Amino acid sequence: MKKIVIIGGGITGLSVAWKLSENGYDVTVIESDKSIGGLAKTIEIEKYFFDIGPHSFFSEDEEVFKRVMNLFESEPNEIPYAKRRVKMLFKGKYVDYPLSAKSILQMGFLSPILCSLSFAKSYIGTYASSLFIKKKENQNLTVKQWAIENFGKYLYLNFFKPYTEQFWKIKTSELSHRVIPSNKKMDFARTLKHLLIKKYLMISKREPGKLSLVERESLPSYYPKKGFGEIANRISRQIENNGGKIYTSLEVDEITLNSNNTFVIKAKDKNFLGNFAISTVPLNKVITIIKPLHEQEIIKSAKKLEYLSLVLLYLIIKKKNVLGCQYCYFLDRPYNRISEMNNFSNYLSPQDENILAVEISCHNESEIWKSSDKDIFSLCMQGIEKDNFLKKEDITNYKVIKIPNVYPIYKKDYEIHLKKTEEYFAKIKNFFSIGRQGQFHYGDIDQMIRIGFDTADKIIKQ
């Protein structure tokens, strides 16, 4: 029987193992962390369930959607759905997010006028230039160029520039526009149309995969009662029921290619032999553990593909409904987003308590990454007290969790390095580097499950 070794027990690795184990393959998943789920896990500490930032599930991919829902077939109440409620604090006002024509109206008197004038100016400019120069498909614009073209200079200067630079800690002129979540365009004109026709929007009639971010974010999404990690937990139980093996707390530190196209995967003192090796490890890491190593050029390119890390501060409070939404984005604060976890599920903490998850994106080895829990708490509380929704005495306890390699950083030249790395891996027979970190692909859970299923299908066809 063919042996498949999967490195990484995040959603992508688990999805490959899920499909292959159903088809009778001998699968082994090796995960370095104490528990499976990767970024989609829920960490249970004492009486609390901590997610890695706010997660919820939705998919336009019918197969993926059905497979995930079927995990809860016998107890559908365990994964209720709710409308997403997201806000952004913009110049002292809470406005709807993602930015739509409605949120522009919520910004007060002057902002809508300035937004519209600046949008009209850039729209006319772009339209006029398109009469003379044919626009290339998939042009790699920087965030700056893309935001001005689609939203106008006012929103670029007042929202896209400060927020993007606060999040990525890199100038908007140095970042590819692909860092903006969802590659589907969410231009101002489309959101205006969406606002006007929203009531009549018939999702079922739309082509799958064609919803804009605003449309996607307006749909109800699903969240398991006991934390988002329940999806990964249920997938892992199915893998084990199908005879698959899952190891945790085991970091793979060497992948040796044998001359007969098999692999020896080494993790601590264990060796695993595989006919296929599937890696979901960050590209700049996996390139250093493949033996024998050949092309120095490729190693250099893969090392240029960097990832942003995430520091999470969880605040335990007694108050309920503090933010009035599920999560809120912030400008000019040390953190980018705060989620009120009770607004996802009431079962994540004891009934009389609530959890706020505060997210700070940062580079590896940056000052905040190295800061003590106490310093991170004090820094965040300064901003929180300023915005007046909580006081220090409201916090009964707090916890800090640091996660490396969370967001692939799309610098403006990243595609050159990614292409070189992909071409190199394509030459290694029976080896796949997939998923958010393994493909440098800033995508959602459903996209990762699709990638996992498609990889399994490729192996089955072989």
Ligand X SMILES: Cc1cc2nc3c(=O)[nH]c(=O)nc-3n(C[C@H](O)[C@H](O)[C@H](O)COP(=O)(O)OP(=O)(O)OC[C@H]3O[C@@H](n4cnc5c(N)ncnc54)[C@H](O)[C@@H]3O)c2cc1C
Alpha-carbon gap, residue 40 to 51, rounded angstroms: 7
The residue ranges of DSSP E strands in 15-112, in sequence order, are 26-30, 42-45, 48-51, 81-83, 86-90, 93-96
Decide: is 30 part of the binding site for ligand X (CB under 6 A): yes
DSSP state string for 230-258: HHHHHHHHHHHHTT-EEE-S--EEEEEEP
**Torsions phi, psi of 223, nearest 5?**
-145, 115
Residue 148 or 265 having the CB closest to ligand X: 265
Shortest distance in whole angstroms from residue 435 CB to ligand X: 3
For residues 326 and 354, the answer to whether their CB atoms sit within 8 Å is: no
Decide: is 229 part of the binding site for ligand X (CB under 6 A): no
DSSP H helical segments within 40-155, as ranges? 62-70, 101-106, 110-132, 143-151, 153-155
Which span (26-34, 95-103, 136-144, 298-306) binds ligand X, by CB under 6 A?
26-34
Which span (32-40, 90-98, 151-159, 200-208) binds ligand X, by CB under 6 A?
32-40
Handedness of CA 380, 342, 64, 458 (dihedral sign): positive
Alpha-carbon gap, residue 91 to 315, rounded angstroms: 25
Residue 191 or 405 having the CB closest to ligand X: 405
Decide: is 13 part of the binding site for ligand X (CB under 6 A): yes
Residue 118 or 433 having the CB closest to ligand X: 433
Alpha-carbon gap, residue 45 to 40, rounded angstroms: 16
Decide: is 8 part of the binding site for ligand X (CB under 6 A): yes
For residues 222 and 70, the answer to whether their CB atoms sit within 8 Å is: no
Which span (55-63, 128-136, 172-180, 375-383) binds ligand X, by CB under 6 A?
55-63
Among 149, 215, 306, 444, binds ligand X (CB under 6 A): 444
Q: Provide the 3-class DSSP secondary structure of residue 264.
A: strand
Decide: is 212 part of the binding site for ligand X (CB under 6 A): no
Sites for ligand X among residues 371-430 (CB under 6 A): 406
Alpha-carbon gap, residue 10 to 145, rounded angstroms: 34
Among 16, 27, 40, 355, binds ligand X (CB under 6 A): 40
Among 10, 98, 224, 229, binds ligand X (CB under 6 A): 10
Decide: is 9 part of the binding site for ligand X (CB under 6 A): yes
Decide: is 252 part of the binding site for ligand X (CB under 6 A): yes
Q: Which residues contact 251 (CB under 8 A, 6 or more apart)?
A: 32, 267, 268
Decide: is 56 part of the binding site for ligand X (CB under 6 A): yes
Shortest distance in whole angstroms from residue 428 CB to ligand X: 17
Which residues of this chain interact with ligand X, rule CB under 6 A?
Answer: 7-13, 30-33, 38-40, 52-57, 251-252, 280-281, 406, 435-437, 443-446, 448
